[in-house]
Amino acid sequence: LQCDQVTLQWLQCDQVTLQWLQCDQVTLQWLQCDQVTLQWLQCDQVTLQWLQCDQVTLQWLQCDQVTLQWLQCDQVIVTLQWLQCDQVIVTLQWLQCDQVTLQWLQCDQVTLQWLQCDQVTLQWLQCDQVTLQWLQCDQVTLQWLQCDQVTLQWLPCDQVIVTLQWLQCDQVIVTLQWLQCDQVTLQWLQCDQVTLQWLQCDQVTLQWLQCDQVIVTLQWLQCDQVIVTLQWLQCDQVTLQWLQCDQVTLQWLQCDQ
């Protein structure tokens, strides 16, 4: 350790490991868990408090501030590794879930809070701000992202798979909020802005989009067993809103609006 202050208090656990740290302040308190591992950290402040979980792992971090607090979980694996960031605030709080994984991040701010879910995975991200909050779902996966801002919030869902992967974008705002559905998939996007909000449906799929200044908007959908599929699009603007239907499919489009 090469740092200023390290504090561990009120621990009820099996194994705690901190090694190769170069930082200013590390705080672990009120933990009730089996294994906590922090290693190869180069950062300013790391805080873990009020945890009730099985395994927490933070390793190979190069960042400013990491905060995990008020976690209540069974067999939870919280993994943050290979982070390389400037003024990064990684915050995980009020989680009730099974597994959370953040790895290979190059970004400014990541926030996960008020989650009630089974598995959350963020990996290979190159972006500015990622926010996941008020989620009630089973599995969320964001991987291979190159974008500026991703926001998922207020999702109450059963067996939801939210997948955003292979995104390559400049100043992209991806927003999914107020969803009540089973499966949402966004992958292989090259675009500027994607918005999905106020959805009540079963499956939404957007994949293989290659566009300049594209606004894909799906909002106020109320449907039973709906499959909304947009794929292989090369266009400027797509808007779907106020739909009450069973199946919508748009594919192989080359158009402006």
Question: Does residue 47 have a pLDDT over 60?
Answer: yes
Question: Does residue 135 have a pLDDT over 60?
Answer: no
Q: pLDDT, tens digit, for every residue of 188-205?
A: 555 556 666 555 556 666
Whole-number mean pLDDT of the chain?
Answer: 60
How many C-beta atoms lie closer than 10 Å to residue 156's C-beta? Answer: 14
d(CA 6, CA 105): 25
Question: Does residue 8 have a pLDDT over 60?
Answer: yes
Domain chopping of the chain, boundaries: 1-113, 141-257
Give the model's pLDDT for residue 170. 44
Give the model's pLDDT for residue 226. 47
d(CA 211, CA 122): 24
Question: Sorting pLDDT into bands at 50, 70 and 90, what band is 37?
Answer: confident
Within a 13 Å sphere around the CA of 241, how many CA atoms are in the beta-carbon half? 10
Q: pLDDT, tens digit, for every residue of 15-27?
A: 777 666 666 677 7
